[in-house]
Structure 1
Amino acid sequence: MPPGSERSTGARELATLVGPVVGLPTPRYAGLARRVRDLLTAGALPAGARLPAERELATELDVSRVTVASAYRVLRDEGFARTRHGSGTVTALPDVRSGWTPPSTAPGVIDLAHAAPEAAPELLPAYEQALGELPAHLPAHGYAPSGLPQLRAAVAGWFTARGLPTDADQVVVTAGVGDAAALALDTLLEPGDRVLVEHPTYPGAVGLVAAAGGRCVPAAVDPADPDALVGTAQLVARQSSPRLAYLMPDCSNPTGVALSAAGRRRLAATLWQHGVVTLVDEVSTGLELDTPTAPPFAAGVPDAATVTVGGLSKAVWGGLRIGWLRTEAGLADRLGEALSRRQLSVGVLDQLAATVLVRQLDEILEHRRALLRERRAVLLAELAAQLPDWTAPAPTGGLAVWCRLPPGTSSAALTSAAAERGLLLAEGRAFGTGHAFDDHLRLPFTLPPERLRAAVGVLARLDREARTTAAAAGPPRPLTVV
């Protein structure tokens, strides 16, 4: 959207979101600025929206114009607003680069920064079968643009069996789910385009959007009511006019929530009606632990309305770099051509093994779900026993628990302290845009039980040490005003 064409947030609309002024912290202007900042980082107020004129908002809130002007100044100083010629004050999200530790296999290190289980037992037999099939491919050049026909057919069959009729020419094979998402974003986005993202969301999504020149517009996710995203996304689509939406309707990372069948139908239709193409990340599809898998998000809307990406990294193994995308055949051709300019082909042996695995994916996922249910129970039990002040709701699916920390506990500080004890964590801010979620921590339950127990033990020791330090410091000294 060109400068000067931002959507406006009306004074009455913003005043309703802010709520009663008497409940804001003092000084009043700082409390108002903090409230607007919280609305932005929670996704209730979209980035890129034009704020109402100072006089209009002051009237609606029944405060002085100076209070509103001072609040806007604070927001600009903190990076949550900017003044644009001809547009007034426009909301923004500062660029906060949270720590994201690379995966580690070092001895003695417990890696809970990454939600990645060990290889499924079906992996090795699949490669053994693929080796037997490889000689038939050796006389040829070995390149398979867009993927081997048998793998594309297998993926198309998996979509069709789930209620989304798909032909092989609608499928493009990539080197992993991230590669498929990056291909779609790089091809479909123009610099400055807005992309609606869930909030919180997968950190890789934020990075991929930024790398493609896009700007994330957050839409708040409510773990207690996943379908509330429908209304939030509709508001964001109306006010921010995003070109794309990046969604994880199945076992969202990090919350583990899934949209209902009705919710995804409404959201898919809403976004398409607003001219928004949805990039659907299905990396965790099939990992619903307590509820049945809902129909694909793309079912019920035109094929051109969605680009669905998926792969085998969570179901089978992260080391198997096979992913795919599924969309309308013409768009699939365009994306396949773009992929061929980046890489001629994904490895043939890996594709042969993936073909075997996709054909038995339902059985593989059944085994994976059973393993994750056991480990989820271990992690939740340890958290309840050793960290009772933490709020750790049981996710209905996915690979992790999205914990709310006690008041005053910083996820960033905890992550830093844990690293010194050999425990790698992903701080909460990595899953947001702006400064959100420092009061949250994602804890995957993908490691064996003994390592999960050891990890919670480290966290419990750090928690006790922090409480001891705080108790020794005593209550804060009162300030003497002269």
Structure 2
Amino acid sequence: MRISASRLGSLLGDDRGDGPAYLWIADGIRAAVADGRVMHGMRLPGERELAPALAVSRTTITKAYSVLTERGYAQAKQGSGTTVVLPGGRPDEGDAEPLDDRPADPRLLNLVQAAPPATPGLQAAFETALEQLPRFTTGRGYYSLGIPELREAIAQRFVDRGVATSADQIVVTAGASSAVGIVLTALTAPRAAVVLESPGYPNTVQAVRGTGRRPVGVPVGDLAAHDEALARAKTCLVVLDFQNPTGGLADDEHRAQLARIWTRRGTTPIVDETLVETWLDDEPQVRPMAAHHPGAITIGSASKTHWGGMRLGWIRAPRHLVGALSAARRSFDLGSPVLEQLALDELLRTRPGLHPEMRRMLRGSRDRLWEFGIGCGWEATRPHGGLSIWWRLPRPRGAALATAAEREGLSMLPGAAFAVDGRGLDSFLRTPFTLRPEDIDRVLPALRAAAERAGLSG
């Protein structure tokens, strides 16, 4: 795989700074490699091609490539040019998501994970965070509610979306699943029933069970079933923005009806907004649930917009609940890492939400999978946000398709994995589109062969 001179030039941008041009080129390529915009194994343009594209001399390009090679980010071979490498070898993708006890099989193409790669600018954010870290190392480093700077930045995101919020309403956590556990521990009794949408996110179900509470599934979007379930349960958790796995977006009328149900039932509502900023086409003009119901507890995460490896999430809650949440938080851990919090604070202040380049990438991958599924005769509502397509298959053969896919070297999950009780939904399949378009192109032949094996190829 090769990156063109024009593409590389667009990644480097126009801000050349005051230093030598070769360092601008080397540092820019290194940052793009660290962010995943230039991938391990990509061949860089030759000096003769890149020099005029960047309006520099060939000597400058040669010197930049030498710096990259010395730092371990490139490898030069006679006759093959200069190839990007990652220090330490090939990238480690980590376990598949949703997570289970089995390590991801590196031999399988991954169509399980609904988490995008790191946002462009991540390494620069960490470099800025390192510069700020000495302000904190004179203290003990424990911030059970989160560092003040990050709590203020998260609160400002709510303000920007039309919900008055102050930093003292924010609790920083180790991701959204941790936030679920903290809220349930603080505000519900052991073995309490928690109403969840089905299909839903498997890790949320695990988080509920992990606290000793009982998940009760209701169909996604069914207000009557939701209302009826809350006659026997006092807590619910919903995803209203690009619901995982269906991709559904609740309009303001639906949210208003939910608010009325919760008020009448005396419900403690938990609203998961992890995917709220993953819109792909037009930004939705809907009000956050906290604007409809001031008592709603909102949880969020950096995993889908910035990077799952940061392991940072948050809770926005009414002020009178923050003390109980803080006490529950200490039963999980004593606080999140300061360096990661500083890096996320930098990202939220400089580039909140999905980076435009990431949004373009996700659109391209979504469109490839959409065309494939429609061509197979599968049905779905085209998602305008989120990270996956939820397909209705022509026949209830989802489990058979997942088994056939594994034989083709492709890892994926059947619909039953997203049922709250782990059963049924065999007529459904989730296909995440978080791989880069070129990787989706590698996946599609295996998916087509699996669909043919399972009798689902149209």
TM-score range, shorter chain: 0.7 to 0.9
1:233 equivalent to 2:203? Answer no
Q: Distance in 2 between matches of 1:467 and 1:397?
A: 29
Q: Which amino acid aligns with 2:346?
A: V
SS in 1 for 2:336: coil
Q: Which amino acid aligns with 2:290?
A: A
**Structure-2 change in CA distance of 1:390 and 1:300 (3 Å):** closer
CA contact (8 A) 1:209 1:215 kept: yes
Q: Distance in 1 between matches of 2:326 and 2:410?
A: 41
Q: Distance in 1 between matches of 2:263 and 2:193?
A: 15
Where structure 1 has 5 or more consecutive residues not aligned to the other structure, the ranges are: 1-98, 222-227, 469-482
Q: Report the count of equivalent residues.
A: 357
CA contact (8 A) 1:101 1:113 kept: no
1:449 equivalent to 2:449? Answer no
Q: Distance in 1 between matches of 2:196 and 2:307?
A: 26
1:175 equivalent to 2:174? Answer yes
Aligned to 1:405: 393
Deviation at 1:102, TM superposition (A): 6.1
**Structure-2 change in CA distance of 1:408 and 1:237 (3 Å):** closer
Q: Which amino acid aligns with 1:118?
A: P
SS in 2 for 1:172: strand
Query: 1:13-66: CA deviations, max 9, x gaps?
Result: xxxxxxxxxxxxxxxxxxxxxxxxxxxxxxxxxxxxxxxxxxxxxxxxxxxxxx
1:199 equivalent to 2:192? Answer no
Q: Percent identity?
A: 35
CA contact (8 A) 1:171 1:327 kept: yes
Q: Distance in 1 between matches of 2:265 and 2:216?
A: 15
Structure 1 residues 436-445 or 375-384, which shifts more?
A: 375-384
Aligned to 2:401: 414
Aligned to 1:284: 275
Q: Distance in 1 between matches of 2:102 and 2:126?
A: 24
**Structure-2 change in CA distance of 1:104 and 1:458 (3 Å):** farther
Deviation at 1:361, TM superposition (A): 4.3
Which residue of the other structure, out of 430, 446, 457, is the alignment partner of 1:458? 446
Aligned to 2:256: 265
Aligned to 1:147: 146
**Structure-2 change in CA distance of 1:408 and 1:345 (3 Å):** closer
Query: 1:367-390: CA deviations, max 9, x gaps?
Result: 4333221211111122234xx222
Aligned to 1:342: 332
Aligned to 2:415: 428
CA contact (8 A) 2:361 2:436 kept: no
**Structure-2 change in CA distance of 1:106 and 1:121 (3 Å):** farther
1:381 equivalent to 2:371? Answer yes
Deviation at 1:467, TM superposition (A): 4.0
SS in 2 for 1:284: coil
Which residue of the other structure, out of 221, 244, 247, is the alignment partner of 2:238? 247
CA contact (8 A) 2:301 2:314 kept: yes
Equivalences for residues 336-375 of structure 1 within 5 A: 336-362=326-352, 364-375=354-365
Aligned to 2:218: 219
SS in 2 for 1:354: helix
CA contact (8 A) 1:114 1:426 kept: no
SS in 2 for 1:164: coil
Q: Distance in 2 between matches of 1:369 and 1:465?
A: 33
SS in 2 for 1:426: coil
CA contact (8 A) 2:201 2:418 kept: yes
**Structure-2 change in CA distance of 1:340 and 1:250 (3 Å):** same
Q: Which amino acid aligns with 1:232?
A: A
RMSD: 2.1
Aligned to 1:33: none
TM-score in terms of structure 1 length: 0.70
Query: 1:417-473: CA deviations, max 9, x gaps?
Result: 3223321112211111332211111000000123223323212212323449xxxxx
SS in 2 for 1:456: helix
SS in 1 for 2:215: strand
Equivalences for residues 6-45 of structure 1 within 5 A: none
Query: 1:389-434: CA deviations, max 9, x gaps?
Result: 222431121000101122142x223223322332111221111133
CA contact (8 A) 1:289 1:373 kept: yes
Q: Distance in 2 between matches of 1:465 and 1:300?
A: 48
Q: Distance in 2 between matches of 1:439 and 1:202?
A: 17
Q: Distance in 1 between matches of 2:155 and 2:454?
A: 53
Q: Which amino acid aligns with 1:463?
A: A
TM-score in terms of structure 2 length: 0.73
